[in-house]
Amino acid sequence: MAKADASAQSAVAMPDSYSSDTARAILEQGGNAVDAAIAAQFVLAVTLPEAGNIGGGGFMLIQKDGKGDFIDYRETAPSAAHRDMYLDKKGDVITNKSVYGIHASGVPGSVAGMWLAHQKHGSLKWNTLLTPAVKLAENGFIVHPKLASSIERYITRMAKKEVNINFAEHFALAKANTVFKQPELAATLKRIREQGKAGFYEGKTAKIIADFMDEHGGIITQADLKAYQAKSRTPIKADWNGYEVLTSPPPSSGGIAILQWLKMYELIKPSDKLANNSVSYIHLLAEIGKRVFADRAEYLGDPDFYEVPKTELLAMEYLKERSSTITPDKISNTEDIKPGLYESEQTTHFSIVDKWGNAVANTTTINLGFGSGVVVTGAGFLLNDEMDDFSAKPGVMNVFGAIGGKANEIHPHKRMLSSMTPTILLKDNKVKMVTGSPGGTTIISSVYESILNAVEFNMSAEKTVNSPRFHHQLWPKNVIRYHPGLDKQVINALEKMGYSLDERRFGDMHVIINNNGKLDAASEASGRGKAVVF
């Protein structure tokens, strides 16, 4: 490992105070950014049940000792899964089956992902990294009022939907500003602490999960758990605007999408710099978004099952042609935008930089807030509803309004397509920026806009994460979703052009920017995050 300069700073930008304090403590004990990330991931499984997890998956992007690595711990379809498992006899998608309840979950990948990251990059003992989470589960943590109110809202909403979940049995007692203990989760975390990966995928925990599935008609088996493998993949690395963008490869759609977005914007932006969040800026980026999402629906899927045409999708000639039909003042017809090669969102993210200049961008998820709403009784953790990120039927939208086809159809052991896009910007192979966000398909917009905010508009980390963002994804037709705070005149002008504007906040960004060795970190003000430079 490179020698740390005595004055070198570290920084963490995390989705809650418990993960922030833990990541900082691990770095101060001499751990590296990956150690801090592993400890934080397990803490979030205790203190951020909306998205932190051991019952889900994610992606960890690492820049360490000058080299990139990408730990893919995305969930997989169980071996009994099949293409039409969410369709009724008439071939229609069964409402909510892939979203709530026992059938919604893929085989969890988080514990295997952390284990692989530790084996490859960790420097402190595994046991040390698990202990903060064990303590918080066993002794309890103080429930943030924002968590308490999202639990309350979720219980009310689910009761109205009449879905078959046991969420309330486990979480109704988590009241604002009171101590909430999770003894079953503590026991599971102890098994993971003592036995490593096998403490989840084999032995007692695996048996509890498989028996629970069996009892409730689910399909994840002990053999599925034993077979799960996290993978180390080569990150996508591409030049852009004097920087190298290190980002997420498939099964994330996000890396290719943000690069298409950033590169097409370079190609079509006028020579007079556009103002941030002006009508022209939002229109041009929405037009690019139409093309990006048409490609996403057709070409992106698990690379172990489907050959993703990565090189073609990022070729300059292709992007030039693809952006050539964009005009500065007219919306293109949604139905005409086809794939181009011939033819409560939740999740959570954190960013860490250590004193050696290593960085981790980690995005992790159980899909929607509180995942499938199902807690594995006896093991104390929420299961994901990630199966909804597969395409249940060609052309039919999932909860994020994303459509897909063959590339993302269900197949046993296949990883479902993701929008999670942990990304690191490099300058001369040194970390310039660490970024990422939750938010389903809106993640892609949050990430590319954060990069433009920091680089094109030279914003501080605070401004980068809090400046209003917007999102367009081809369907629904000409709808631009946006954050409160966008200029009213801009909104009126976009409506006049023919867009429908939908004010709905998305994402929760945690960003670190390196200004020539001085770190600047921020967590989005609307969340319960905590960023600190030390």
Interface residues toward ligand GLY, by CB under 6 A: 347, 365, 367, 386, 389, 418-420, 440
String of DSSP letters for 385-396: -GGGGSBSSTT-
Helices (H), 124-166: 126-139, 145-161
Q: Which is nearer to ligand GLY, 132 or 373 (CB)?
A: 373
The CB-of-50 to ligand GLY minimum distance in angstroms stands at 12
Residue 239, strand partner residues = 244
The CB-of-499 to ligand GLY minimum distance in angstroms stands at 24
Please, is 473 exposed, middle or buried when counting C-beta atoms within 10 Å of its C-beta (0-12, 13-18, 19+)?
buried
Q: Identify the CA nearest to 101 among candidates 468, 308, 367, 383.
A: 383
Residue with nearest beta carbon to ligand GLY: 418
Q: Which is nearer to ligand GLY, 106 or 529 (CB)?
A: 106
Q: Which long-range contacts (CB under 8 A, 24 or more apart) does 131-134 make?
A: 131/193, 132/22, 132/25, 132/39, 132/42, 132/43, 133/22, 133/39, 133/42, 133/43, 133/45, 133/46, 133/189, 134/186, 134/189, 134/190, 134/193
Question: Contact 510/15 with Cβ under 8 angstroms?
Answer: yes
Q: Which is nearer to ligand GLY, 298 or 389 (CB)?
A: 389
- The residue to which tokens 């943030």 are assigned: 144
The CB-of-365 to ligand GLY minimum distance in angstroms stands at 5
Q: Which is nearer to ligand GLY, 420 or 474 (CB)?
A: 420
Q: Which is nearer to ligand GLY, 323 or 419 (CB)?
A: 419
Q: Which helix (H) or strand (E) holds 59?
A: strand 57-64
- The residue to which tokens 């398909």 are assigned: 441
Question: Cα–Cα distances in Å, from 501 out to 118, 327, 346, 371, 476?
Answer: 44, 20, 22, 28, 11
Q: Which of 347, 364, 423, 435 is flagged as catalytic?
A: 347
Q: Which is nearer to ligand GLY, 386 or 520 (CB)?
A: 386
Annotated catalytic, 205?
A: no
The CB-of-144 to ligand GLY minimum distance in angstroms stands at 23
The CB-of-59 to ligand GLY minimum distance in angstroms stands at 9
Burial 337-350 (b: 16+ CB within 10 A, else e): bebbeeebbbbbbb
The CB-of-172 to ligand GLY minimum distance in angstroms stands at 25
* Residues labelled catalytic: 347
